[in-house]
Amino acid sequence: MARTGLCACLILALIGAGCSDDRRRVTVGSKNFLEQVLLGELIAQHLERRLGITVDRRLNLGGTMLAHRALLNGDIDLYPEYTGTALTAVLDLAPSPDAQSVRDRVKQEYEQRYGLQWLDTLGFENTFAMIVRRSDAEHDQLESLSDAAHRPAAWTIGVGYEFQQRPDGLPRLLETYALKLSGPPTTMDLGLLYRALEQRQVDMIAGNSTDGPISVFDVTVLRDDRQSFPAYEAAIVVRPDSLDRIPGLSEALNELTGRLSEDTMRRLNHQAVTRQGKVADVAREFLDTADIAQ
């Protein structure tokens, strides 16, 4: 009987340890494009280093609503998102260029509607960016989109399909700045835009502010001085029950606040592309050298 009782106690202890282990697991998700996968991997590795816990990855989940539903359902504990995307695509509210008001509104609405918590920004935003050759910017003294609108010569513009169709893309740009165009914009795959600009097929392209090629091509990003484009600050959205369940999770996530600048993300995105999508290596090397509390 004594031996049987001892075995039973050991089994219960092992089960308890297993349950305790499971309660310390965290699942990080991401959407299905390179920057998102890279951010998800970077967050996961930081948590492993900082907390010594098991981190499961559900990266490359799909689009915005798929990632959002996974978070609501508890399939993931957290994922990186953009304030402007949350405002328009999830909350179905009107876009705004005011970063602070977007941030505050998203935090409030997510808590009230979904019981989800937004953390402070990671330090960068990924919004639309109008880009020209550096030589043209210097020759015509162009720093902003208002400068571009006053240029006597008409622009030949290259854009992606989404930018052309979205109301906060090309229509908003032309309404805000009244750029003189030589003809309809040339629509092409996003991956072709920078080469088209370099080869002088177009004079201006519509990219994203954290595009990797910005860090290696000889280009200038024109300042959106009239705030035509919405604010898309990157931050982590997380389940509050996950923060309660895992000791130190909130503190570890907040250590990433403000640690990723726009230039840093451009560099990391470029490295991920040139290294054929090996985001784990890129994230590891960044964390090895970054000044983040360990």
Q: What is the mean pLDDT of residues 33-58?
A: 96
Closest CA to 203 of 127, 138, 131: 131
Phi, psi of 98 (to 5 degrees): -80, 105
Rounded to whole angstroms, the Cα distance separating 187 from 164 reads 8
Q: How confident is the model at residue 21 (pLDDT cuts 50, 70, 90)?
A: low
DSSP class per residue in 193-257: HHHHHHTTS-SEEEEETT-GGGGTSSEEEEB-TT--SPP-BEEEEE-HHHHHHSTTHHHHHHTTT
Q: Which DSSP state fits 60?
A: S
Domains of the chain, residue spans: 25-125+232-289, 128-222
- Residue pair 224/149 in contact by the 8 Å Cβ criterion: no
Q: Which DSSP state fits 154?
A: P
Q: Do domains 25-125+232-289 and 128-222 have the same CATH topology?
A: yes
Rounded to whole angstroms, the Cα distance separating 78 from 76 reads 6
Residues 6+ apart with CB under 8 A from 60: 30, 31, 32, 36, 37
SS3 of the chain: helix, strand, coil, percent, to 5: 50, 15, 35
Rounded to whole angstroms, the Cα distance separating 210 from 123 reads 12
Give the least confident one: 9-18, 175-184, 226-235, 263-272.
9-18
Q: How confident is the model at residue 191 (pLDDT cuts 50, 70, 90)?
A: confident
Query: What does the pLDDT read at residue 10?
Result: 46
In the chain, the percentage of residues whose pLDDT exceeds 90 is: 77
Strands 117-118 and 234-238: antiparallel
In the chain, the percentage of residues whose pLDDT exceeds 70 is: 91
Which architecture characterizes domain 128-222 according to CATH?
3-Layer(aba) Sandwich (3.40)
Token representation of residue 137: 């910017």
Token representation of residue 239: 């389940």
Query: What does the pLDDT read at residue 16?
Result: 47
Domain 25-125+232-289 has CATH 3.40.190.10: yes
For 164-200, letters b (16+ CB in 10 Å) and e give beeebbbebbeebbebeeeeebbebebeebbebbeee
Q: Is the pLDDT of residue 267 over 50?
A: yes
- pTM, full prediction: 0.83
Averaged confidence pLDDT in the chain: 90
Query: What does the pLDDT read at residue 293?
Result: 60
Token representation of residue 89: 């695509």
Q: Is the pLDDT of residue 15 over 90?
A: no
Q: How confident is the model at residue 22 (pLDDT cuts 50, 70, 90)?
A: low
Token representation of residue 73: 């359902």
Across the strands, what pairs with 277? none
Q: Is the pLDDT of residue 264 over 60?
A: yes
Rounded to whole angstroms, the Cα distance separating 130 from 173 reads 9
Q: Is the pLDDT of residue 4 over 50?
A: no
Across the strands, what pairs with 32? none
pLDDT digits (tens, 9 = 90+) for 134-177: 999 999 999 999 999 999 999 999 998 888 887 788 998 999 99
Q: Is the pLDDT of residue 258 over 80?
A: yes
DSSP class per residue in 161-192: HHHHHSTTSHHHHHHHH---BSSSPEE--GGG
Q: Which residue has the higher pLDDT, 31 or 189?
A: 31
Query: What does the pLDDT read at residue 288?
Result: 95
Query: What does the pLDDT read at residue 14?
Result: 44
pLDDT digits (tens, 9 = 90+) for 95-132: 888 999 999 999 999 999 999 999 999 999 999 999 99
